[in-house]
Structure 1
Amino acid sequence: MTENINQNPEQKARDNIDKMLVEAGWIVQSKKKVDLYASKGVAVREYQTDVGPADYVLFVDRKPVGVIEAKREEQGEKLTVAEDQSKDYAESKLKYLNNDPLPFVYESTGVLTRFTDYRDPKPRSRPIFHFHRPETLLEWFGQVKTLRARLKDIPELDETGLRPAQIKAIRNLETSFKDNRPKALIQMATGAGKTFTACTFVYRLLKHADAKRILFVVDTKNLGEQAEQEFLKYQPTDDNRKFTELYNVQRLNSSYIASDSQVCISTIQRLYSILKGEELEESAEEENPNEKSWQWQKKEPMPVEYNAKNPIEQFDFVIIDECHRSIYNLWKQVLDYYDAFLIGLTATPDKRTFGFFNENVVSEYTYEESVADGVNVPYDVFTIETEITQAGAKIKAKEYVDKREKLTRKKRWERLDEDYEYTSNKLDKDVVNPSQIRHIIKAYKEALPSIFPDRFDENGEFEVPKTLAFAKTDSHADDIIQIIREEFGEGNDFCKKVTYKIEEDPKSVLNRFRNSWNPRIAVTVDMIATGTDVKPLEVLLFMRDVKSINYFEQMKGRGTRTINFDDLKRVTRTAKHTKTHFVIVDAVGATKSKKTDSRPLERKPTTPLKDLLGAVTMGVQDEDLFTSLANRLIRLEKQLTEDEKAKYEELTEGKTLNQTTKDLLNAFDPDLIQSKTQALVSQIPVQDRTPAKEEECRKQAQNELALCAAKTFTGELNDYIVNVHRIHDQIIDTVNTDKILRSEWDSFTKDKAEEVVKNFKEYIEANKDEITALSIFYDQPYRRRELTFKMIKDLLDKLKLEKPLLAPHYVWEAYAQLEKVKGNPPAGRAGSPKNDLVALVSLIRRVTGIDQQLTPYNTTVDKNFQDWVFGKQAGALKFTEEQMGWLRMLKDHIANSFHVEVDDLDYTPFDAQGGRGKMYQLFGDKMDEIINELNEVLAA
């Protein structure tokens, strides 16, 4: 029989094709036993045409609609060569029938399959995972135009309510569709409105291209809920109804896909489980696969299989959100399954992302561009360094220390038998030093008034800006929260944890963090590290490092969102203006550590236990994986107490840890697999036994053993195993106290500083003839008396609009790296608009050569005032103390507002001292002369 199979590769291919057709709902018949009434879809083998027998002719409701050209498996790379042959059959006349050319044409080896719809504009074959169902071909056959033809008819985009980058992305994407490009990538900076862009083109595809169903893929449940909210609130510009009044949106939380849903939102994890025919716990959707367990690098990934309830034509378009992390390894199979256009959305693509999408980048919109456009805000870096964060510490032998279980946080007192020395990378994992955390939090609290100097209320109380702290682990987050509440002297509501594991509803906490005054500080591990939109955020406190450059960029993206002044004021009452920037407080060197492109996990002993557990839970069947996990659990079994073993058995409904280990090892035991295989083969009639079927039985046996082992592991059990692991007991180091080494703004590199100064000079030069304020600086000195507050305010507004990365405090810091600066910047790092204006004038004076050294404008005014007074009083004129008081008020006004008019004397601070009448009383007819003289002299 083996020899027969080897001699008939064509028959082997046809057997596979028959199996695939049956799975897709077709009945396969021989040409001698044709019964087109037997089913909706009938595939007839060797049907005669006027150019010879076609391998298969497809009939739906007794109408011929397509052909299949079968080829041997080893001819897979030559399928495109067979296109002319299959097309000839499709265009031929079928025996007994006066048919038109058949539109649906397949070439298949039973392993690889290609499909062409010859009614498409410029018909082009494409690879498909499986055959389409008869109902699908019947529906397509009845359409006046194919989907690809309808895409060419999409009307011009209405730009109302769209940003330029969104307009470009949608237009280029639709051009890509019209060119029949199967994959397209939209790179759009975090905060630039990727999901809104997606809602817009999804609406247009449903309305104008009559798309049947569109899939929106995310990789965490949280992002799925956020996408659902975007669709719920999306309002088309050409219809008074909301999107969800026009189309049905379904977020999948089971394997059921409603027949009437036009937009489905699902995690990639759930789709994989659906295609595997397995249920999925919601906990498996909560964590970001970018760094998590199911990136186990497998020799042979468990392949997805055809699922008749979820056929390949289920979706016309698949949108992959955060596609830089959800298109590889296990997940790539899911995306390859569907016969659909693929659209990737990401802010941070890497080389693999570009490669997956065939380098068809329809739109690139970087963070720098989004800042320049005012869509996002820039950031500053404030660095906190402590001694222990940098170098770790040593606890000497015979010291008594607390040891804490991660699971219960229960402490026990132990004496160290030998010195325990730890490095910084063990902090908050194997060892916790409360002093280290406390010093960072204290330094942050003490620095806040200088970071946000304008956030004091009328009672002199400082209002903490909305802050998101990134912790290493759930346990680390608990330690941070406790110390934040203590150091800030606040209660529970002030600082909250936002992770999937909190008792309180995380969505409720997140909603309050976003929309209410409290909490002021949120601490997270992963839940809102990526994707989640919290616009009022003004500080990101990094207390964990991250090695993936993409993940780091995503984390930074939490702070980039713009927010209008009224919305910011609603949650931060002391805000004086709209959000102009955010601050990264780097307490662990996250902004300086070496970053790499994220890579899948390798098989090696250092793979964390949590990742091994997660990979098994997600259905990965790999011998190295099962063996590695079994070995870890064998060691664990020896360390557990009886109570802990009892808890384990409670979570596994009676299965011991020892039995769990045996199941893992049995999954790849050759003798056991052989025994089970023989039992399965014995159920097949002898005459039907073939090597191919025996191989199927072997795979089934191995799969059943693997499933028996894997089904034990659930999200709750995995958490228990990780947390109960004795090796993860934490030493609490209360012996070594920490100290601050550095708490200050991060410095520019020399090259970066030179680039910023150069860009600022070029901008000032380029606009000197267009902007009144600049033309005054470039003119004769006497004209500077004409400079007004409004002129400088207009210049600052224009600068913010056109070049937000050239904010005055930012340029000031760049100058400070290159030359000696007199005094401190007038604005501090985040001053009020008025101080930004003073800083801007100081910088312009330096650029235009008025000042040879960058000098705060108020310092220049003070010096000029001193010289003026000295010159006036050098002769007989002597100012009284009351006159000097008025002159100093005029000087301060010019220092901050650049110009003073007689009318200004009617307002603060002059009105409280008697206004213009008082000044006239003091200076008489010399009043106007003095005002004009001060405007000119102080600005010199």
Structure 2
Amino acid sequence: MPKTLIFAVDDHHADEIVQMVRQVFGESDDFCRKITHAAKRPAELIKAFRNSPELRIAVTVDMIATGTDIPPLECVFFLRDVKSWAYFEQMKGRGSRTVDPAEFQAVTPDAEVKERFVIVDAVGVTDSPRVDARPLNRVSERKIPLERLMAKTAGLAMTEDEVATLAGRLARLDRQLTPEEREEIEEIAGRPLKEIIGGLVRSVDPDQQERARRIGGEKQVRQEMLDALKPIASNRELRDRLMSMRRAHDIVIDEVSVDELKEARGITADELAMRRVTSWQQYLKDHQDEIAALNLAFSERRDPKEVYRRLKDLARKIERPPFQWTPARLYDAYVQLGKAAKHPRGAAGVIDLIGLLRFELGLDQEVRPYRALVEERYAAWRARQEQAGTVFTEDQMWWLDRIVDVIATEATIEPEHLKSVAFVERGGVDGFLREFGADRGAEILEELGRELSA
């Protein structure tokens, strides 16, 4: 039996074919196997199909349709229709790989050389009409910009061409995003942007649509398209964030408008700093509900992990247009106006938004780096320990000082932090427990996290 690849309609169909092949040939499970995404260890099965003399027939749906080389393959068997010319050519191409005679004979012992491969068309694939490959971007940007596409998405009122165009536009945007932006989108959407794009692409794929028609006609095709749109349609925050990211990455060249000179003079560093601080103060007034939550967290010394998460969300929001602020730019503006000392590390980070917020909320009289606040509280904690008669060894002080460094940059300390490079040189978690003991060690981590944070 030559190595044969059978294309099935779906996973259930593949199971039926495997069972039928085994009955017809009276062979064991090793003779014919299903190789789909639903199969166990599909990568190992592909390797066995390529190299094993025992596995003669593989049944797949799409997994081996493209990009997988099985040089000894001599028969490509179609038990499903294919609507795309390009996809059909790729599927046929699985049998066109050449193979060295010795390698060929190792897999198929009674063969000599691979001179050709055979196509078995059991369902009339070669007689059915197929479509040429179409680009995703089927509607021009001028005719329907992304903002309008997003609006139509919200109402689930899109044509097939518009769904394809949305997929193409989002795919282009995805290539421009930073890892941090992709992480933010995944957090808002509950899934990666690539997964959403993949669903849109599949919903307009001719072969996927043909399978849907066999299940439930044109109504099923439409339903699958709507299902692919729902992650965006039902999430206003996601749509808004995608649009703001698109604007941030766009380069707009205006060849029509005429510039008008309104003012011609230099802007001093003090003026620029004052504008930035004033705008920041206005932002805090306009977002009182959001800032009130942080104010309460500071006042009641709530979970530092939650505080840090809120700070990261705030940092992401203010870095978007029209503000485009970073913690470092805001902090430097306060330094320029004499309301803060220069940052000891040269540039402020997300955690230093705490100092800016505490100052504007009236909790502190000056803007201080978060590290200064943590070190001040650490000194007070050490003083209380000494008054209580607790004496730390030099090695224990090393651990305590490193823990303070972590809290000063991440607002909290967790056992997971002890596995980082800064602690590994002294044994990580095990080294910490050797110095302090299990009970006292857990107590110290919890106490420092509570006493030193926001």
TM over 0.5: no
Structure number with higher helix proportion = 2
Normalised to the residue count of structure 2, the TM-score between the two structures is 0.41
Q: Which has the larger radius of gyration?
A: 1
User: Counting strand residues as a fraction of each chain, which structure ranks higher?
Assistant: 1
- Tell me the TM-score normalized by structure 1: 0.21
